[in-house]
Amino acid sequence: MKKVPVILVMAVVASLMGIRIAAHKRKMDGTLAALQEYTSVVPVRVTVVRRTNETERSTADGVLRPIVEVSVCSETDGRVVRVSADAGDRVEAGNVLAAVDTMIAAEQYARAKTVFEDAKRNRERSRILVGIDGVTRQQYEAAEQACEDAQVTLTMAREQLAHKTIRSPFRGTIASRTVEPGSTLLPSMQLFTIVREDSMVLTVALAAGELAGIRPGARAEIEFEALPGEMFSGTVSSVDILPDLSGRYPAQLSVDNGSGVLRAGMNGTATFSGSLTDSLLVLPRRCIVGSMHDASVFTVTAETAYRRAVTVRLLGDTVVAVLGGVNAGDTVVASGQMNLGNGTRIRVVDNR
């Protein structure tokens, strides 16, 4: 009779343990479901499509180079006796850069001048004599021809002598020198490179969307890395009609260098301003998924991301104009798109 209560107690204990185990399982299942739901949510940063009625400013980087760069070459031969200019020197038009030994050329010139003077006197004498039949017509013509030939020889000798002195063709700066005193020259040898730096050109690359407002005559403010805080004015002189390998269009800006502080090879940033984006929708370029020709964005509605095709064009390196596909005020994913698909649940971790 005592065994019956023991069995009953054991049954009650087993029932209570079963109830606790079932409750714990339900709790664990709920926690696991919540965890799975949380881990399936993708964290993203978002931004808002905005409409702008203000002038957008676009920038482009480029390298400064001289408009005029000339190689000064030898027009004679001989030994160099003096070099008067070096790289970095500023020179004026006609300044002596180098001199070549003139001994032989000077002797040839002196001889040619003497021959010409004699031929000229003989021609004058023959002109008088032919009038009184003192010489024949053929003798007079021969004397006249000899005088002309002597004049040609004298001109050539004078030029050869002048070529022994190498001069600057214009006002500029010596960019390089390849001649040394004592070296022997031959015709057409390159001796100096001279650049004209009073007016220079900055070559930049423009996106296709910027071409409508940046045309020849457009103005830009330019700042160079080597001269921080100092602004220069530039004017677009030309824009190439064909893009380069990166798909951008090279443009040239004329930059006045009357102060002489600019140097070829300086890196500069040109800032253009204009009413290119009057009443346009704009987004950061980082929001775009895919290429500019097949662009899309992820819009956010009720903590869910939806992919939308959009039509855009570049306004600069970091901003695009949205021509269709979204509306002003739409929330768009700005970071984290790689983990998204159409209909993915998202969690906003920052709003930028």
Res 76: pLDDT: 93
* pLDDT values of the chain reduced to their tens digit, one per residue, 352 residues: 444 565 665 665 566 666 666 565 565 555 544 444 444 789 999 999 988 765 556 788 999 998 888 999 999 999 999 999 999 898 999 999 999 999 999 999 999 999 999 999 999 888 888 778 777 888 888 999 999 999 999 999 999 999 999 999 988 889 999 999 999 999 999 999 999 888 899 999 988 767 767 888 889 999 999 998 899 999 999 999 998 888 889 999 999 888 888 888 899 999 887 644 456 788 999 999 988 888 999 999 989 999 999 998 777 678 888 888 999 999 999 998 988 999 999 999 866 5
Alpha-carbon distance of 153 to 331, in angstroms, equals: 86
Closest among 94, 90, 86 to 179, alpha carbons compared: 86
322: how many CB neighbours lie within 10 A of its CB?
A: 25
Contacts of 141 (CB under 8 A, 6+ apart): none
Q: Which CATH class is domain 102-163?
A: mainly alpha
Q: Residue 171's pLDDT is what?
A: 87
C-alpha distance from residue 132 to each of 127, 143, 144, 168 (Å): 9, 16, 17, 54
Q: Which two tokens stand for residue 51?
A: 């409409």
**Cα–Cα dist 315/52, whole Å:** 12
pTM: 0.54
CA distances from 350 to 149, 205, 335 (A): 91, 34, 10
Residue 83's pLDDT is what? 96
Distance of alpha carbon 245 from alpha carbon 102, whole angstroms = 52
Indicate the domain borders of the chain. Answer: 42-55+278-351, 58-66+197-274, 102-163
Tokens of 182: 């004592």
- d(C-alpha 253, C-alpha 207), whole Å: 16
Q: How far apart are CA 61 and CA 53, in angstroms?
A: 26
As a whole number of angstroms, the distance between CA 254 and CA 216 comes to: 10
Pick the CATH number of 42-55+278-351 from 3.90.1300.10, 3.40.50.150, 2.40.420.20, 3.40.190.10: 2.40.420.20
The class of domain 58-66+197-274 in CATH terms is mainly beta
CA 242 to chain centre: 15
What is d(CA 347, CA 352) in angstroms, rounded to the nearest whole number? 14
* Closest among 288, 279, 284, 278 to 317, alpha carbons compared: 284
Q: Give the separation between CA 328 and CA 64, rounded to whole angstroms.
A: 40
Three-class SS of the chain:
CCHHHHHHHHHHHHHHHHHHHHHHHHHHHHHHHHHHHHHCCEEEEEEECEEECCCEEEEEEEEEEEEEEEEEECCCCEEEEEECCCCCCEECCCCEEEEECCHHHHHHHHHHHHHHHHHHHHHHHHHHHHHCCCCCHHHHHHHHHHHHHHHHHHHHHHHHHHCCEEECCCCEEEEEECCCCCCEECCCCEEEEEEEEEEEEEEEEECHHHCCCCCCCCEEEEEECCCCCCEEEEEEEEECCCCCCCCCEEEEEEEECCCCCCCCCCEEEEEEEECCCCCEEEEEHHHCECCCCCCEEEEEECCEEEEEECEEEECCCCEEEEEECCCCCCEEEEECHHHCCCCEEEEEEEEC
